[in-house]
Amino acid sequence: MHGNKPGHLRVTQTRVRTGKVIDEWHFVSPLNVRGRKAPQLSVQVSLKSEGKGITFNAHGECLPKELVDTDIERLRKAVEDELRFQHDSATGLVWEGWLEVQVRSPLGCRRIAEGNGLEVHAQPMKRAIDPATGEALTLNTNNLVSPFPRPKNAGEVDGDSMFNGRDVDSTYSYVPASAENIAALKNIFRRIDELRDALSVFLAQEQVHDSLRNVVEDAKLLPGI
């Protein structure tokens, strides 16, 4: 699994004191890992009572203007988005949408009891180039940076412990999440579904004997091939 939002806002339990600072919110940088310098971004939150009712106000040097809302959760999201923008502007990180494409085909002896299923998965992920090192980065499940994974062929064991969660029997490839690539993958998934449906009919009980006999005689009879 990969993260999809660089960093996050750390919020403590709000203390209600009208007209005064009730909380301080800190942006946890995706660069907040060993060996990296991360910008320190935080805001203070005040509770104010005005003619229109109670409002929550976020303010700080890193905000271009005070953010105000009557809903503290809505304010939290707005602050997180703004601090994420400020963070990326300060670090030069530009995050792009990519896809991890996994193709799994069981290896080894193909006995009848095992079959030979084929699975294709596409998982969204983020990718950025570190301006300081030129290193390709992605986000882990904690939305902190980690090295962008290398492609892997089925049967290969990951030598780096960073990627040991990847399936040994799978091929992993990485492509930008462009409209063209997404459309192409959707077409592949559609064709796999069509082949599965055709095989369900081809191997149905009422005709499975004839189907298997015909396949032995002519391999071109396989549906969708």
Provide the pLDDT for residue 100.
95
Last residue of a domain, one of 62, 91, 120: 91
Of the two residues 3 and 131, the one the predictor is more confident about is 131
Which range of 12-26, 60-74, 99-113 scores highest in mean pLDDT? It is: 60-74
**Coil, strand, or helix at residue 193?**
helix
- Provide the Cα torsion 29, 32, 35, 36; round to 10°: 0
- Residue 197 domain-assigned (yes or no): yes
pLDDT at 101 over 60: yes
- Residue 34 domain-assigned (yes or no): yes
pLDDT tier for residue 110 given thresholds of 50, 70 and 90: very low
Provide the pLDDT for residue 224.
55
Q: Percent of the chain at pLDDT above 90?
A: 46
- Residue 61 domain-assigned (yes or no): yes
Q: Which domain holds residue 62?
A: 8-91
Last residue of a domain, one of 33, 65, 91: 91
DSSP state of 89: H
What mean pLDDT do residues 45-54 have? 82
Last residue of a domain, one of 91, 123, 152: 91
- Residue 136 domain-assigned (yes or no): no
**Which residue is it, tokens 């180039």?**
129
Tell me the pLDDT tens digit for each residue of 174-217.
999 999 999 999 999 888 888 878 877 777 877 777 767 777 66
Provide the pLDDT for residue 176.
96
pLDDT at 113 over 50: no
DSSP state of 209: H
pLDDT tier for residue 112 given thresholds of 50, 70 and 90: very low
- Residue 162 domain-assigned (yes or no): no
Report the chain's C-alpha Rg in angstroms: 26
**H helices of the chain, where?**
72-91, 179-202, 208-217
Provide the pLDDT for residue 186.
92
The overall average pLDDT reported for the chain is 83
- Residue 105 domain-assigned (yes or no): no
- Residue 71 domain-assigned (yes or no): yes
Number of domains composing the chain: 2
pLDDT at 68 over 50: yes
pLDDT tier for residue 223 given thresholds of 50, 70 and 90: low
Residue type for position 47: L
Provide the pLDDT for residue 14.
53
- Residue 141 domain-assigned (yes or no): no
Tell me the pLDDT tens digit for each residue of 121-166.
899 999 999 988 899 999 998 889 999 999 999 888 886 656 667 8
